[in-house]
Amino acid sequence: MRLGSLCAVWVCAITVSVTPETVRAQSPSVAKAAALASVERQGTELVAMSDQIWGFAELALRETRSAALLADYAERQGFTVERGVAGMPTAFVATYGSGRPVIGIIGEYDALPGISQTASTTRQPVVEGAAGQGCGHNLFGPASLGAAVAVKDLLAAGRLRGTVKYYGTPAEEKIGGKIYMIREGFFRDADVVLAWHPGDETKAEHEGFQANVQFVVEFRGRTAHAAGDPWNGRSAADAAELYTHGINMLREHVKPTVRMHYTVERAGDVPNVVPDYARVLTWVRDSKRAGVDTVFARVQDVAKGAALMAGVEHTLSVQTGFTDMNILESGSRLLHENLTRIGPPTYTAEEEAFARALQQATGKDAVGMKAAVLPLKPIAADPPGGSSDVGDVSWVAPTLHFTLATAPKDVPWHAWPVVAASGMSIGHKGMMYAASTLAATAVDLLEDTSVREAIRAEWAEKTKGVSYKWMVPDGPPPVPGR
Ligand SMILES: [Zn+2]
């Protein structure tokens, strides 16, 4: 992408997309204008980093080059960088400034397996079977860092006071790196944490994420010749079948917000041997953590019952669990103001054609890009499908979150069309819009004590009497090769 065309659109949008109902929007501060200019100045480098991370497409806890790229950039910009935090070589924290307030900005960069794809409108892997950025995390990491650097520029110039922290958070797609960072005390010292996520529309958070728990059930029986002496066998595969059948019976008696999914990872090798080992990976989700806890207790009984019926032993090991999001109305209002004031990018005819082609290729309505900011809505009782470890962060620090269009409306997520859009100008434009929104919001939080205090007061109210506890198991994070 050529940055020139992007900047033109973007600066123009800053001046014309003013909404009359927001006073702050009508008079952006000098500091905010400077922060937006800083993001703009970094455009070429942010795009280059997003393309490199897109190309690396590194899986959870293997994001070595992606994390190094971002951490090196932060270091060049004068941040103090602590690498390999919380027992994860690919987690890092970059800090600039001193004292309060402390504004944290979250970045992610991990990819998903098996969805390698070129930046084109037909299914075409770069490397067959390799990983791809099907959640747009190659945009997430650099956008957030660009915003952190914009804040740093203002702190360095003495125009703002306080501290900015960039959290480089690995493995969102698998174990939830942020949860291990929370366990080690990160995020808690931030006055406010900012995060965003690539999506197919643009909106300040009002829905949040589902809570979930992810666990492995293993059954161990006794092998035997399946024809010679099956009466001597105790089949772990039978137990796995009974277990999954039990889950499917339970499905009718849980709330509509509950989701249960599993994959049978092992259940024997050949039919003429009674399998003595089976392994089922299971996820349980619900709108809130309490709902997950209730269903999880029943699923644990199902596993116990299945083992009893098959006459085998079983173990259940929790791998991780994500918590629902504590959404702050005051925070979403602030994000909405900045999203609206900055305004979405405009797209070229080629980009719109690219978007429609991806929609056609996946059986969706060919409506093109839908990046306009959606109206601010009241907080929804139940989030739509999907979980994020940003939810956990929202219980240890006030966390503001928004979604921003980086891909065509309705194309399948965690799939090749998102990889394609994340590796070209549609994704880049979304990334720059996200960086600007984060930077502008951070400036508001640093400049305006009353806004910051209102957010903190709402958070204090919503966390009163709540004791957050992470769901990751004791011991170090499961870093590959350790
Ligand atoms: Zn994601």
- Comparing 108-117, 324-333, 365-374, 383-392, which segment has the lowest mean pLDDT? 383-392
Mean pLDDT for the chain?
A: 94
CA of 142 to the centre of ligand 1 (A): 14
Rounded Cα distance between 155 and 138, Å, is 27
Which pLDDT score is estimated for 457? 98
pTM of the model: 0.91
Confirm if 191 and 452 have CB atoms less than 8 A apart: yes
CA of 192 to the centre of ligand 1 (A): 21
- Taking only the tens place, the pLDDT of each residue in 117-169 is 999 999 999 999 999 999 999 999 999 999 999 999 999 999 999 999 999 99
CA of 43 to the centre of ligand 1 (A): 22
- Taking only the tens place, the pLDDT of each residue in 414-426 is 999 999 999 999 9
CA of 394 to the centre of ligand 1 (A): 16
- Comparing 10-14, 31-35, 48-52, 287-291, which segment has the lowest mean pLDDT? 10-14
> Is it the case that residue 6 has pLDDT exceeding 50?
no
CA of 199 to the centre of ligand 1 (A): 9
Confirm if 31 and 135 have CB atoms less than 8 A apart: no
CA of 137 to the centre of ligand 1 (A): 6
CA of 18 to the centre of ligand 1 (A): 30
Question: Which amino acid belongs to residue 162?
Answer: G
HEC states along the chain?
A: CCHHHHHHHHHHHHHHCCCCCCHHHHCCCHHHHHHHHHHHHCHHHHHHHHHHHHHHCCCCCCCHHHHHHHHHHHHHCCCEEEECHHHCCCCEEEEEECCCCEEEEEECCCCECCCCCCCCCCCCCCCCCCCECCCCHHHHHHHHHHHHHHHHHHHHCCCCCCEEEEEECCCCCCCCHHHHHHHCCCCCCCCEEEEEEEECCEEECCCCCCEEEEEEEEEECECCECCCCHHHCECHHHHHHHHHHHHHHHHHHCCCCCEEEEEEEEECCCCCECCCEEEEEEEEEECCHHHHHHHHHHHHHHHHHHHHHHCCEEEEEEEEEECCCCCCHHHHHHHHHHHHHHCCCCCCHHHHHHHHHHHHHCCCCCCCCCCCECCCCCCCCCCCCCCCCHHHHCCCCCEEEEEEECCCCCCCCCCHHHHHHHCCHHHHHHHHHHHHHHHHHHHHHHHCHHHHHHHHHHHHHHHCCCCCCCCCCCCCCCCCCC
CA of 135 to the centre of ligand 1 (A): 5
Which pLDDT score is estimated for 482? 81
CA of 340 to the centre of ligand 1 (A): 23
Which pLDDT score is estimated for 385? 79
- Angle (CA) 472 211 412, round 5°: 110
Which pLDDT score is estimated for 25? 43
Which pLDDT score is estimated for 271? 96
Distance from CA of residue 402 to its chain's centroid?
A: 11
CA of 271 to the centre of ligand 1 (A): 40
Q: How confident is the model at residue 27 (pLDDT cuts 50, 70, 90)?
A: low
CB-based contacts of 309, cutoff 8 Å, min separation 6: 238, 239, 242
CA of 387 to the centre of ligand 1 (A): 9
| Mean pLDDT of all residues in 431-446 | 98
Kindly state the percentage of the chain with pLDDT values over 70: 94
> Is it the case that residue 465 has pLDDT exceeding 70?
yes
Which pLDDT score is estimated for 24? 46
CA of 83 to the centre of ligand 1 (A): 22
Hey, what are 464's tokens? 């009163």
